[in-house]
Amino acid sequence: MVLLLSSLCVCISHSQINVAGNQTAAALASKLAGQGVVILNPVLNCPSQANGFFNSNELQPGFDSGIVLTTGRAATSGTSYGVNGYSALLANNNNGTPGDAMLDALAGQPTLDACSLEFDMKPLGDTLSVDYVFSSEEYISAVCGPYNDAFAFFISGPGITGMDNMALVPGTDIPVTINSINNGVPGSTGAIANCTVMGPGSPFTSYYLDNSNGNWLTHKGLTTVLKAMHPVDKCSTYHFKIVIADAGNPYYDSGVFLKAGSLQTAQYHIQPNIDPAYDSTSAVCIKGCLPGSFTINRSIVRTSPQTIHFIAHGTAVSGYDYAALPDSVIIPANATSTTLTINGLVTPAIGQKTLQLLILSPTCDGSIVVADSAMMVIYDTLHVSVTPADTVLCSGASIHFRVSSEDLYTYHWTPSSGLSNSNIKEPVATPYINTIYTVTASLPGTACPSKSGTAFVDIKLSPLVYLVGDTNVCYHSSFTLSPDVQPFNANYSYSWIGPAGFTSSLSSPSLNTVGLQNSGVYTFTVTNDTNFCAVVSEINVLVNTPDSPAVVSPVIYCVNNKPESLTASGTDLHWYNVHAGTETDIAPIIPTTSMATYEYQVTQTINNCESPRSTVNVSVIQCCDGGIFIPTAFSPNNDGLNDYFEPRPDYGYFIKAVTIVNRWGEVMYSGTDGKWNGKCGLRDAEAGTYYYRMIFGCIEGGTTERKGDIILIR
């Protein structure tokens, strides 16, 4: 029979499928061959770009790897085609190669662009099978059309007349084609009669997958994973041919994906049986109460029973750890599996053992190969022991119990008081009274009896200590570390360790004149000297230290200048006279009657905490040695004699500001040169007495002030 498929030109997405093209016949056949098949004399008649290996990390087209044969483009130089290649267009490609004579008759017209892989093979079982997926660009538009691309799995040999096509719709004699498997909707050139004529039930929509919006394959549709099967005579030689070709025209390509290792005969498998009620990861057997089991499978149903041989491996000893096993099992007629039970034998506790069964399969030359294997863990009869069994603890201390038993059991502890979790295998216990703990291990849903173990915890009295976690202390204050220790006991000893090398054996030591060096964690240890139980607690002392006020230092005043108050930038200032040993909240006024030096310190208070001190050094000095001449009268009559009021300071002084007012306080002159021409603006000032204030600076620093009167004569 012939499987008619549309011509395949595969366009595959980089993100999902990768294709390595231009493979050899031997490489393709080896990739396809699986258990129970010996490949001989492979031959490939296919353009290099139309065949290849494929692999997929997203299990497209239904399996993760295998070989692909197409009537168009599969891959070129290992580069895949798809969303990053030709997906924007149809992948139709004319390879320019001839068709296949065997497919011409099946297609009813000449074929083109054929691609075939054929080889001799020797089956080791009596049924040959292979898993595949067919895809095509003819889907949708050419469904139920007058012709389809041709495709077949031809097999010939003993018991077969001519050639048989293995690629059939499951459970029928209908070949797999566009018209036999589709979405049931005829294309633009099709008629439903072209599909129904394929045979009863056609078209088979349940085996069809729409790919019109897919991005991993340019073909518009494909089949689900199908299995082609055919009976064979064991160890006889057969010829197998996979062939696909375009029918009618070289475009609208098709292809077939074949699963790696799926060409096989009568495959045998063994698997351990897992009961999720007590274990979801591995098969187990518990000696004396819980049998384990393996299931041995064959890939096809036979009308006669079949004997499967096996051998046992592992650390478990037959007849000691488990009841002796036969060397084979029988799969009944019309069944695909049988179960082998493993009965564990009661022994002294010696730890886990493993049992591995190897399924044997004879080859055509009489040798034996391992077809499959499976593992089981055999556990000792349920037992429990707890360590430490007897423990002495100081009250408040903890012990982590260790349990000698298996992780698959269910555990429960009583009493639950003082336990981190009463339903786990190995909890942490922190009891405050003498306690006997009991752990019970069980395996629900089995015949295994529960087992128990105990542990006794003897509690010795420890003091209870209460400390404030974080404590804020003002800079330069005093602070007492005051723990609450209960109950009082004359046999307690104390130990403090803290920052800056602080140590003390007092229960409540004091910190005086606290500074930044006293910030940090203080560890307090109380020891009961009668049983040596100790309790360790901690307190974190945070020294609150506001920033010092901003000041200007040194400050220089000139002798005989007006006394002025010191200034600083801060909040709630407090001043200290270092030499006099006095302090005040009022800024000090510096006397300037004689030369002297002073040292003052100032702090600011924020949130009731006083800051470290800022120092202000003050000097009262003789700023300049010379004198200042100030006229007592002048006559601004433009006679060239005494026309200006002009003070004349000696060397070392300079005029900083001069202000002259009349007897009503009206400013007649203000400037920095001190030279007044007797005018107020453009108006001549009247004759009379005027008053001045002059500020002189000294080049050595500081200022001096002069006040007096001047007579203006007209």
What are the domain boundaries of the chain? 17-264, 268-379, 385-460, 464-544, 555-621, 628-712
Q: What is the pLDDT of residue 439?
A: 97
Structure tokens at 633: 């009268």
75 pLDDT band, cuts 50/70/90, is: low
What is the average pLDDT across 690-709? 85
What is the average pLDDT across 547-566? 87
213 pLDDT band, cuts 50/70/90, is: confident
Mean pLDDT of the chain: 88
Nearest residue to 270 via CA among 312, 314, 230: 312
Looking at per-residue pLDDT, the higher value among 5 and 244 belongs to 244
**Least reliable range by pLDDT among 73-77, 263-267, 541-545, 633-637:** 73-77
**Least reliable range by pLDDT among 324-338, 347-361, 498-512, 698-712:** 698-712
The H-or-E segment that residue 210 falls in is strand 208-210
The pTM assigned to this predicted structure is 0.50
Structure tokens at 42: 């492979």
Rounded CA gap, 328 and 317, in Å? 18
Residues sharing a CB contact under 8 Å with residue 542, sequence separation 6 or more, in sequence order = 470, 471, 472, 473, 519
Q: What is the pLDDT of residue 107?
A: 75
Question: What is the CA 632 to chain-centroid distance, rounded?
Answer: 93
CATH 2.30.30.100 is held by the domain 464-544: no
Q: What is the pLDDT of residue 86?
A: 36
Q: Given a cut of 60, is residue 58 above it in pLDDT? A: yes
What is the average pLDDT across 577-592? 92
Q: What is the pLDDT of residue 678?
A: 93
In the CATH hierarchy, which top-level class contains the domain 385-460? mainly beta
Q: What is the pLDDT of residue 14?
A: 41
In the CATH hierarchy, which top-level class contains the domain 628-712? mainly beta
**Least reliable range by pLDDT among 110-114, 433-437, 556-560:** 556-560
Write phi, then psi, for 321 (nearest 5 degrees).
Answer: -85, -25
Q: What is the pLDDT of residue 56?
A: 80
Concatenating the DSSP letter of every residue in 567-587 gives --BSSSEEEEETTTTEEESSP
Q: What is the pLDDT of residue 593?
A: 84
**Least reliable range by pLDDT among 13-27, 61-75, 470-484, 665-679:** 13-27
Write phi, then psi, for 109 (nearest 5 degrees).
Answer: -165, 165
Angle (nearest 5°) at CA 256 between 250 and 258: 155
Report percent pLDDT > 70 for the chain: 93
What is the average pLDDT across 576-605? 92
Q: Given a cut of 60, is residue 181 above it in pLDDT? A: yes
Report percent pLDDT > 90 for the chain: 60
Residues sharing a CB contact under 8 Å with residue 124, sequence separation 6 or more, in sequence order = 36, 37, 38, 234, 235, 265, 266, 361, 362, 363, 364
CATH classification code of 268-379: 2.60.40.2030
* Fold match flag (268-379 vs 385-460): yes
Q: What is the pLDDT of residue 2?
A: 31
Contact criterion met (CB below 8 Å) for 697 and 713? no
Q: Given a cut of 70, is residue 278 above it in pLDDT? A: no
Q: What is the pLDDT of residue 16?
A: 63
Looking at per-residue pLDDT, the higher value among 652 and 376 belongs to 376
